[in-house]
Every structure is written in C-alpha cells, then in structure tokens.
C-alpha cells in the first residue's frame, strides 16, 4: 500500500523496495528490520538495539536526501526494542518518532511490530455504505470499563451493537506521558497507548466490532503534541512552525521551509490507522488550530490520504471546527475539504441552556429559546456568519445547503461534561422530564446523534479532566484548567475552584471509570430503555429515518418553552410524524394557528411514543389533542405522534358550504 504521494524507497539497503510508511521500523520478509528516520539536525544517526533479537548491536544508518537516515539491520526482528542515537556516540538516545509500540513508556525504547502478522477475520466487512443514518458513540478506553483495556472494551461491543450504535468514536490513543490521560496530549502518534494493551489488542477490538456490524473511528490530534513532544525538535529544527502557535503549544510546521516531511508524517499517520488497524475513519480534533497557508491545506490532505489508504472501503471523516466553516463539508471539486460531518456545539449549548437555565461562559452566546432549538435541529449550526458578541467577530459560514446528517449533535461529550467543573452529567443538572425530552430531540432529530459513554444509562460516574504528569507540569495544567473554567462565574469562586479535581490525582481518573453493572438497575435501566427505544425508532421508522435528508423535517415554536417538529412521509402517503415537546410548565393551546399541527386529511394524531412512559420513569401520557380541550402539552415532556384514521363526522363539511 502506498501511504505517500510517492512510494518511499530504501536508498541504503534493498534498493527499490517499497516501505509502508516514510519512517519507522519495518520488518523485511527476507529477514531483518529496515529503519528510517528524519533527523535534519544531525550528520549521523545510529540505531541501538536494546533488547530482543539483535540485543546489544549498534548500527550506523546511511544518510539520504532531505535529512533522512536509513538502513537494514539483519539481526533485528519482531520484538526488538530500540532507540535512535542522534549525532554520534555521545548523542541523545530517543525513541522512534514513528514507533508502533512503547511498552516501557514514552521515554523508553520502541518495539518492532509486524502488522502483517495479525490474522484479520473482517474480509467481508464492507465499511460504511453511507455517512447518512449513523449513530456515533464516543468512548475513552481507559474509563469505558473498570479494567480500562482493549480486551475489556471488546467484551462490551455486543452491548453497543444491540443498543443501536453504528459507529464507535474512540478518544485519542497515541502514546502520551504518564499512566493515565484523556489522550489529547499524545506524543508518539503511531504507538497505541501501552496502558490499554498491545497493538494487536486494538486490532482485535476493531475486528470484533466489524463482526458485529460496528464501524470504528479514531480521534486524531494533529494541532499540537503533548508534554515530551519537544523531542521532535531534537530530530529537526523545522518540525515546529516559526509562524504559528496553537493555544496548547508549538504548532507543527505545515507550510514553511522543510514542511514536506512534517506533512508526510501526519498524513501518513492518518493512512496508517486505516491500513494497519482497518479503522473506518477519524474525528480530527480542533481543526481550526491546524495552521496552514499552503494551497493544499493539511486538513484536506489528511482526509484524502486516509481515504486512499482504505483500499476501497468507505470511510467516515468527522471534524471538530469551532469556527464552523462549511468548506469542510463541501466536495473537493467545489473547493471543499471533503469531510463527511462536523461536530455541532450549537445544539449542545442551546439544549444545555434550555434545560438548566445556566448561561455562563461560552453558553452566554445562547438564550435557550424554543426558536434556537428548532433552528439548531433544522439547520445544524445557529451561527453561520452572524456577529458573535462574546467573541467580537463573525462566527461561521453559510451552511443552509448542507444536509442535516452532516452535523453531529450531542447532549454530552468529554469536554462538555468536564467543563461543568465537577464532571457531572446532564441528567444531574436538569429535571428527569426535561432530560428525556431533549434526548428525544437528539436521538430522532435529523442530525447525526453522538452519545458519550454511559449517557444512555444515566451513569452515576463523573467524567473529569485527568492527566498524569510530573508535579511541576501537573500543577501548571491544574492552574490552566481552573483559569479556563473561571469564565463560568460560579466556577470562579474560591469554594468551587477548590472543588475542581487535580488532573494528576489518580482518584480523578479512577472516579471517572464507568460501572457497567449499573445499567441493569433502577433509574439506570429506565434510562437505557429510553435510549434503546428511541434508537430503534430512528432505525426502523422510515419517516423518521428520512428526516436526515434536506427538507425532511420542519419545525415551529408553540409556546415559551415548547416546540414542534414534523417529519414528512418520503413516500408522500401522509404517514407523517409529529413531535411536540414542552420543557416548561403544562401548556394549553386553545388557539392553534400553526399548520404543522394539522394532521393529514381524514386523520387525527395519536401517540406513537411518549417520554412520560412509566417504563422510563415517567408519569404516563394522555392524548394531547381532543375536541374538548384542543391541545394540551404536559410539562417537561416530548410526545411523538402518528396519524390515525378519524371519525367521518370530524371532517364533514358544515351545513351551507359548497
């Protein structure tokens, strides 16, 4: 497989032999291991074999053009642990920037891995047939189960498939410093974090997911490297940009002198996950902080190279873009960047304000009105180029032509839970009825829904920010975290600042681990039933399913905290669906001058599904419309209605009409 614009050739050993990746250690079929590294700062590079096959050997690599060094070491093999020594016998010994595994941690030796040795069973897996119709589930391997490993997560895959999930979105797994962390401070991007298991354990996770019909995508962080990433500057003084700096630290050099190998490092990494781990795509983190002024923007190059590596499988490329630029979602032939979906913070923010009444910090850009809810559900982003008062600039670009399924809507994700300061989940911040109602808006609404681990059973566990670092760095991160959360006035108080858990405290990590046994009991089982039923509706109801297409859903405001959404029968037979949701007190509508509430001719609306079903912990539901009281919407509820034949007398023309 070709992971670069041109195949990388071994110029020191077997001339003309193609490599899988431009750098790293690759097992050679005829024997030995071929090493290649980019180190423009040095005149010489040696590979030191620390243990395993070839232990004790030190071999000088041959210098190539553009600052590369390479060489075939016949004595090395699978399991060899090695370091690169930079600049001769007295130089620094560092792990491989393209290491496939770091069994002794970030600063230890890299281990030679043969990806072709794994026996895949997913030959019949077709990949995602379409980006439309998916249900995403975000999980963090270290906290998804009490054990926090690939093996234990694999045991939960059948449960996720039965729940109705179609795509698992795994939070970043590249090797980082310390024993626990979110993964957004990854350093060695090709090496799956040792604490979760071996690279083959990750492959088994993906292989099992495919056997159950589940796709797997990986959150990739390319806007910065975490603590320890400064080692890349020891290899090359042009690895980091001199023009740009991200809010998290040094930005990779994607557009200045010497940027070619840097771009190749990151695009090859994206291709690597599709090739060697059979991943079905990626979620690219904070794309607004991937700085590139070149004609071929790195965010588009990443998506293109990953698709090329998929060998014909349909991938799902998702982006996070706080700036809300619709260019990401447009076809490259129209000047776009070729992404399938983008996360939509807007839906989360307006739903959070509507259900809790809290508008601190960045939530102050929203009022939580029913009009905002309707617009977020119908249009995706609320900000598509309007002036944003808090930011002091225009935010977003027009996206009215983008299909609803291209927006990823969520009520919870890793950031938004942790940004409550205490790590509490939405069901704890609002009433049970409101939580059930907005869950219905999310899960059967026209956008692509994303669940965060444990959301479906209203998990009792917190999810806080945790990162295991050396004391000085850990304290710096703690101060930065508290300063960021200080934008929320309630979290800026001394009392709340003291309650924000220290990220390097192991208990912060341990308290964030899910307890899957919860989901079978009490209110947790009720919440799980709610989510199962809504996802089943989304999958099986043809009218609801068609709502993700342009024009499939319309909506209106019914009251101070009430909305309606109407799904139109794609067959044109009048088999529409109507959602009436009320986040406020009980609402009576004696005058109903809203055409979306009119049932198909010869029919009246009847309840198909209710958030107040006792199986979900609700109080039961009466039909919302009658001849005696017109429309009555219960407090903190959502009702999904379907047309049913009505009595003939209801539609008989009054006397004297033509």
Per-residue DSSP letter, 292: -
Catalytic residue, chosen from 280, 285, 456, 478, is: 285
Pairing verdict, β 407-410 and 110-111: unpaired
Same fold, 24-117 and 554-651: yes
DSSP string, 24-66: EEEE-TTSSEEEEEE-TT-S-EEEEEEESTTTT-EEEPEE-GG
CA distances from residue 218 to 171, 173, 295, 319 in whole angstroms, order as listed:
6, 8, 27, 11
Please tell me the distance from the alpha carbon of residue 126 to that of residue 312, in angstroms, as a whole number: 9
3-state DSSP call for residue 470?
coil
Label residue 207 left, alpha or beta by phi (over 0 means left) and psi (-120 to 50 means alpha): alpha
Q: Are 203 and 118 in contact (CB under 8 A)?
A: yes
Q: Which of 440-449, 557-566, 642-651 has the lowest mean pLDDT?
A: 642-651
650 is catalytic: no
Environment class of 130 (CB within 10 Å of its CB; exposed 0-12, middle 13-18, buried 19+): exposed
Label residue 32 left, alpha or beta by phi (over 0 means left) and psi (-120 to 50 means alpha): left
**What pLDDT, on a 0 to 100 scale, did the predictor assign at position 646?**
85
Three-point CA angle 5, 272, 320, nearest 5°: 95
CATH of domain 24-117: 2.60.40.10
Lookup: tokens for 336:
């776009």
C-alpha torsion sign, points 262, 265, 269, 271: positive
**What pLDDT, on a 0 to 100 scale, did the predictor assign at position 247?**
84
Strand boundaries in 290-432, DSSP class E:
316-319, 341-343, 386-388, 393-395, 407-410
As beta bridge partners, residue 72 has 34
Lookup: tokens for 54:
């070839």
Lookup: tokens for 183:
């993964």
CA distances from residue 103 to 93, 110, 478 in whole angstroms, order as listed:
17, 7, 28
**What pLDDT, on a 0 to 100 scale, did the predictor assign at position 475?**
92
Residue 336 has pLDDT above 80, yes or no: yes
C-alpha torsion sign, points 502, 503, 506, 507: positive
96 is catalytic: no
Lookup: tokens for 369:
């009105």
pTM for the predicted model, two decimal places: 0.95
pLDDT band at 650 (very low <50, low <70, confident <90, very high): low
CA dihedral of 304, 305, 311, 314, whole degrees rounded to 10: -40
Residue 1 has pLDDT above 80, yes or no: no
* CATH ID of 554-651, from 2.10.10.90, 2.60.40.1180, 1.10.10.60, 2.60.40.420: 2.60.40.1180
Residue 7 has pLDDT above 50, yes or no: no
> Mean per-residue pLDDT for 549-567?
96
Q: Which of 206-220, 239-253, 498-512, 536-550 has the lowest mean pLDDT?
A: 239-253
Average pLDDT, the chain: 94
3-state DSSP call for residue 69?
strand
Lookup: tokens for 488:
């929320």
CA distances from residue 87 to 44, 106, 169, 379 in whole angstroms, order as listed:
5, 21, 41, 57
Lookup: tokens for 512:
């964030």
Q: Are 235 and 245 in contact (CB under 8 A)?
A: no
Give the helix, strand, coil percentages of the chain, each rounded to 5: 30, 20, 45
Please tell me the distance from the alpha carbon of residue 23 to that of residue 71, in angstroms, as a whole number: 11
For helices 432-444 and 345-356, give the axis angle rounded to 10 degrees: 160
Residue 347 has pLDDT above 90, yes or no: yes
Please tell me the distance from the alpha carbon of residue 534 to that of residue 540, in angstroms, as a whole number: 10
**What pLDDT, on a 0 to 100 scale, did the predictor assign at position 6?**
42
Lookup: tokens for 71:
């060489």
Please tell me the distance from the alpha carbon of residue 439 to that of residue 545, in angstroms, as a whole number: 16
Domain 136-534 has CATH 3.20.20.80: yes
565-617 pLDDT per residue, tens: 999 999 999 999 999 999 999 999 988 899 999 999 999 999 999 999 999 99
53-73 pLDDT per residue, tens: 999 999 999 999 999 999 999
Please tell me the distance from the alpha carbon of residue 340 to that of residue 615, in angstroms, as a whole number: 36
Q: Which helix (H) or strand (E) holds 557?
A: strand 553-559
Residue 8 has pLDDT above 70, yes or no: no
Tally of CB atoms within 10 A around 187 = 23
> Mean per-residue pLDDT for 469-489?
92
**What pLDDT, on a 0 to 100 scale, did the predictor assign at position 4?**
41
Domain ranges of the chain: 24-117, 136-534, 554-651
187-213 pLDDT per residue, tens: 999 999 999 999 999 999 999 999 999
Percent of the chain topping pLDDT 90? 90
Please tell me the distance from the alpha carbon of residue 73 to that of residue 35, in angstroms, as a whole number: 8
Q: Are 358 and 419 in contact (CB under 8 A)?
A: no
Tally of CB atoms within 10 A around 506 = 12
Lookup: tokens for 280:
């079905």
Please tell me the distance from the alpha carbon of residue 318 to that of residue 328, in angstroms, as a whole number: 9
Lookup: tokens for 199:
């690279």
Q: Are 413 and 378 in contact (CB under 8 A)?
A: no
Q: What is the 3-state secondary structure (H, E, C) of 384-417?
A: CCEEECCCCEEECCCCCCCCHHHEEEECCCHHHH
CB neighbour list of residue 83: distance below 8 Å, 6 or more residues apart: 47, 48, 50, 93, 94, 95, 96, 109, 110
Q: Are 553 and 380 in contact (CB under 8 A)?
A: no
Please tell me the distance from the alpha carbon of residue 159 to that of residue 145, in angstroms, as a whole number: 13
As beta bridge partners, residue 395 has 386
- The number of helices, as runs of H, and strands, as runs of E, in the chain is 17, 31
As beta bridge partners, residue 578 has 566, 641
Catalytic residue, chosen from 320, 456, 478, 613, is: 320
């Amino acid at each position: 497989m070709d992971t670069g614009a041109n195949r990388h050739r071994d110029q020191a050993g077997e001339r003309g032999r193609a490599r899988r990746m431009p750098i790293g250690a690759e097992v050679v079929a005829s024997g030995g291991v071929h090493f290649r590294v980019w180190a423009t700062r040095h005149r010489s590079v040696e590979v030191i074999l620390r243990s395993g096959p070839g232990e004790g050997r030190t071999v000088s690599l041959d210098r190539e053009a553009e600052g590369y060094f390479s060489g075939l070491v016949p004595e090395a093999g699978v399991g060899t642990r090695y370091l690169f020594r930079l600049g001769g016998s007295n130089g620094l010994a560092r792990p491989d920037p393209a290491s496939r595994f770091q069994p002794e941690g970030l600063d230890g030796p890299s281990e030679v891995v043969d990806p072709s040795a794994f026996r895949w069973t997913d030959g019949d897996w077709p990949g995602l047939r379409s980006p439309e119709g998916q249900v995403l589930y975000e999980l963090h391997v270290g906290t998804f189960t009490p054990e926090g490993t690939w093996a234990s997560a694999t045991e939960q895959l059948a449960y996720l498939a039965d729940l109705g999930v179609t795509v698992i979105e795994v939070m970043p797994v590249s090797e980082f410093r310390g024993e626990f962390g979110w993964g957004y401070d990854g350093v060695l991007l090709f090496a799956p974090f040792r604490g979760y298991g071996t690279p083959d354990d990750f492959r088994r996770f993906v292989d099992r997911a495919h056997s159950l019909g589940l796709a797997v995508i990986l959150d990739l962080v390319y806007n910065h490297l975490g603590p320890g990433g400064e080692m890349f500057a020891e290899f090359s003084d042009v690895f980091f940009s001199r023009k740009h700096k991200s809010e998290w630290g040094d930005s990779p050099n994607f557009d200045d002198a010497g940027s070619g190998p840097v771009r190749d490092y990151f695009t090859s990494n994206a291709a690597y996950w599709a090739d060697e781990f059979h991943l079905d795509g990626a979620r690219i983190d904070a794309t607004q902080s991937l700085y590139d002024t070149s004609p071929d923007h790195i965010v588009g190059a990443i998506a293109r190279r990953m698709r090329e590596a998929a060998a014909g499988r349909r991938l799902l490329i998702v982006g996070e873009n706080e700036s809300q630029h619709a260019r990401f979602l447009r076809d490259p032939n129209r000047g776009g960047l070729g992404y399938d979906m983008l996360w939509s913070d807007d839906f989360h923010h307006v739903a959070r304000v509507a259900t809790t009444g809290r508008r601190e910090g960045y939530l102050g850009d929203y009022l939580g009105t029913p009009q905002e809810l309707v617009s977020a559900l119908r249009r995706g982003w609320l900000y598509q180029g309007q002036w944003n008062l808090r930011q002091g600039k225009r935010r977003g670009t027009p996206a009215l032509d983008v299909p609803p399924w291209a927006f990823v809507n969520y009520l919870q994700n890793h950031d938004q839970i942790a940004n409550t300061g205490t790590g509490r989940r939405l069901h704890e911040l609002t009433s049970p009825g409101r939580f059930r109602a907005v869950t219905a808006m999310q899960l059967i609404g026209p956008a692509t829904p994303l669940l965060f681990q444990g959301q479906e059973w209203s998990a009792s566990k917190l999810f806080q920010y945790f990162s295991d670092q050396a004391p000085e760095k850990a304290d710096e991160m703690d101060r930065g975290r508290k300063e960021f959360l200080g934008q929320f006035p309630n979290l800026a108080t001394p009392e709340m600042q003291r309650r924000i858990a220290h990220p390097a405290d192991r208990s912060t990590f341990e308290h964030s681990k899910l307890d899957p046994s919860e989901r079978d009991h009490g209110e947790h089982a009720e919440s799980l039933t709610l989510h199962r039923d809504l996802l089943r509706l989304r999958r099986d109801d043809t009218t609801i399913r068609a709502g993700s297409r342009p024009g499939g859903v319309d909506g209106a405001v019914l009251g101070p905290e009430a909305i309606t959404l109407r799904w139109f029968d794609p067959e044109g037979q009048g088999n529409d669906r109507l959602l009436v949701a009320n986040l406020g007190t009980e609402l009576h509508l004696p005058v109903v001058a809203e055409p979306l509430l009119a049932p198909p001719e010869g029919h009246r609306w009847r309840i198909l599904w209710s958030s107040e079903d006792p199986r979900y912990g609700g109080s039961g539901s009466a039909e919302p419309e009658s001849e005696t009281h017109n429309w009555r919407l219960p407090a903190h509820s959502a009702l999904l209605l379907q047309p049913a034949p009505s009595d003939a007398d209801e539609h008989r023309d009054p006397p004297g009409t033509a």
